[in-house]
């Protein structure tokens, strides 16, 4: 993490185990293997049947009946909206935060190598007027002129002050010109015809939901929608993986056990309770971090300065309750960072 005024290193991120950058596109393709994915299905209702089954109803008239609905349908989850009233389910915006995320190719070997000089994977630059996260998306090619980069930028301000792509790009480049190198050069690489959008960031602080006698659960961003932390600590993906691990273990153990001794509804409700504790803590920290790293006066007190890429500091009792790794099972700690 670099000081954008001086170019000096402000903070290093110690990594326990190894850090992995995960391509969303490749991950989607991987998890879809062997799965009959049905596209163009927009959920409109969930029916809870007398025989303890559940039916998902879609806008195109299709219906699917089974034993469990898993709402892993993103931060603006349709499943979540059916579990809570509108006020409790809605994603709340982050006020007075300007955020933009662009990908670009320098198209030049020397420029690409220079942009990567701060760090081979990703680096952060902090300045009183701008936050910048610069990462390389594609470096497998031996030709640096083909490399693609991702740049996340943010500052405190009103999105409504910039009404068209031209004014947004001009402001982005103006602020980028204030940074130290190589970050300043990254903004110089942006095409003048780039369609810049200032995105609205939002969050949903996890609440425990009623699993309807073990027939519906939430997971991933649907269960803990958090703003992209600046810099990105990878916690959204890490918590989604934890959700999946916990949930799959519950289902596997249930089907291994005799039905008389396995109480799936209570186990799924316990899962919902654990997610609500873990998720709400992370969403709160992500919101705090999103504001603090954009405020030069307090950024060194931000969660990312205190905790870097580590798991969030849940107190010992809650951490013990949420621990689901099998006793005696060895594994390597991995921090997953989501990419394009």
> In CATH, what number is assigned to the domain containing residue 239?
3.50.50.60
pLDDT tops 80 at residue 251: yes
Same-domain check for residues 257 and 283: yes
Same-domain check for residues 301 and 233: yes
Q: Give tens-digit pLDDT for 121-149.
A: 889 999 999 999 999 886 678 899 999 99
31 lies in some domain: no
* 199 token code pair: 């995105």
Q: Give tens-digit pLDDT for 197-226.
A: 999 899 999 999 999 999 999 999 999 998
pLDDT of residue 205: 94
Name the domain boundary from 136, 153, 188: 188
Same-domain check for residues 305 and 243: yes
194 lies in some domain: no
Q: For position 127, which CATH number holds?
A: 3.30.9.60
Closest to 235 (Cα-Cα) out of 164, 307, 294: 307
Instruction: Confirm if 181 and 149 have CB atoms less than 8 A apart.
Output: no
Same-domain check for residues 65 and 171: no
What percent of the chain clears pLDDT 70, i.e. is strictly above it? Answer: 84
Same-domain check for residues 230 and 271: yes
Q: What is the DSSP string of 163-190?
A: -SHHHHHHHHHHHHTTSPTTHHHHHHTS
310 lies in some domain: yes
71 lies in some domain: yes
Same-domain check for residues 105 and 123: yes
Q: What is the mean pLDDT of residues 252-274?
A: 86
Q: Cα 239 vs. chain centroid, distance in angstroms?
A: 9
Residue 34 Cα distances to 29, 41, 181, angstroms: 10, 19, 46
pLDDT tops 70 at residue 109: yes
Confidence of residue 53 (pLDDT cuts 50, 70, 90): very high
pLDDT of residue 324: 43
pLDDT of residue 116: 93
Same-domain check for residues 74 and 215: yes
Same-domain check for residues 333 and 223: yes
The domain of 118 spans: 96-188
Phi/psi of residue 258, nearest 5 degrees: -70, 140
Same-domain check for residues 236 and 166: no
pLDDT of residue 278: 93
323 lies in some domain: yes
Looking at the 3D structure of the chain, how many domains does it have? 2
38 lies in some domain: no
Buried (b) or exposed (e) across 294-326, using 16+ Cβ within 10 A?
bebeebeebbbbeebbbbbeeeeeeeeeeeeee
Residue 266 Cα distances to 72, 202, 203, 254, 317, angstroms: 20, 31, 28, 11, 21
Over the chain, what is the mean pLDDT?
Answer: 87
pLDDT tops 60 at residue 154: yes
Same-domain check for residues 210 and 334: yes
327 lies in some domain: yes
pLDDT of residue 325: 41
């Amino acid at each position: 993490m670099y000081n954008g005024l001086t170019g000096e290193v402000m903070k290093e991120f110690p990594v326990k185990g190894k850090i992995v950058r995960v391509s969303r596109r490749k991950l989607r393709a991987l998890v879809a293997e062997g799965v009959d994915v049905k596209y163009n299905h927009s959920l409109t209702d969930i029916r809870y049947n007398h025989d303890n089954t559940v039916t998902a109803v879609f806008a195109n008239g299709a219906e699917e009946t089974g034993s469990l609905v898993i709402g892993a349908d993103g931060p603006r989850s349709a499943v979540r909206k059916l579990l809570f009233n509108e006020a409790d389910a809605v994603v709340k915006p982050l006020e007075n935060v300007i955020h933009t995320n662009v990908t670009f190719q320098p198209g030049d070997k020397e420029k690409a190598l220079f942009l990567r000089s701060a760090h081979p994977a990703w680096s952060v630059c902090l300045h009183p007027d701008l936050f910048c996260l610069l990462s390389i998306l594609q470096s497998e090619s031996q030709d640096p002129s083909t490399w693609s980069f991702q740049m996340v930028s943010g500052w405190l301000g009103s999105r409504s002050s910039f009404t068209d792509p031209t004014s947004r790009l001009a402001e982005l480049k103006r602020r980028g010109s204030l940074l130290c190198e190589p970050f300043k050069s990254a903004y110089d690489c942006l095409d003048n015809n780039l369609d810049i959008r200032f995105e609205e960031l939002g969050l949903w602080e996890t609440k425990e939901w009623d699993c309807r006698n073990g027939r519906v659960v939430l997971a991933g961003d649907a269960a803990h929608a958090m703003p992209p932390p600046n810099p990105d600590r990878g916690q959204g993906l890490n918590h989604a993986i934890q959700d999946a691990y916990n949930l799959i273990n519950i289902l596997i153990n249930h089907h291994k056990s005799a039905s008389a001794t396995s109480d799936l509804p209570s186990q799924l409700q316990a899962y919902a309770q654990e997610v609500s504790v873990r998720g709400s803590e992370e969403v709160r920290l992500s919101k705090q971090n999103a504001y603090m790293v954009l405020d030069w006066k307090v950024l060194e007190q931000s969660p990312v300065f205190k905790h870097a890429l580590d798991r969030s500091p849940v107190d010992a009792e809650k951490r013990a309750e949420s621990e689901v790794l099998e006793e005696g099972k060895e594994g390597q700690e991995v921090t997953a960072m989501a990419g394009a």
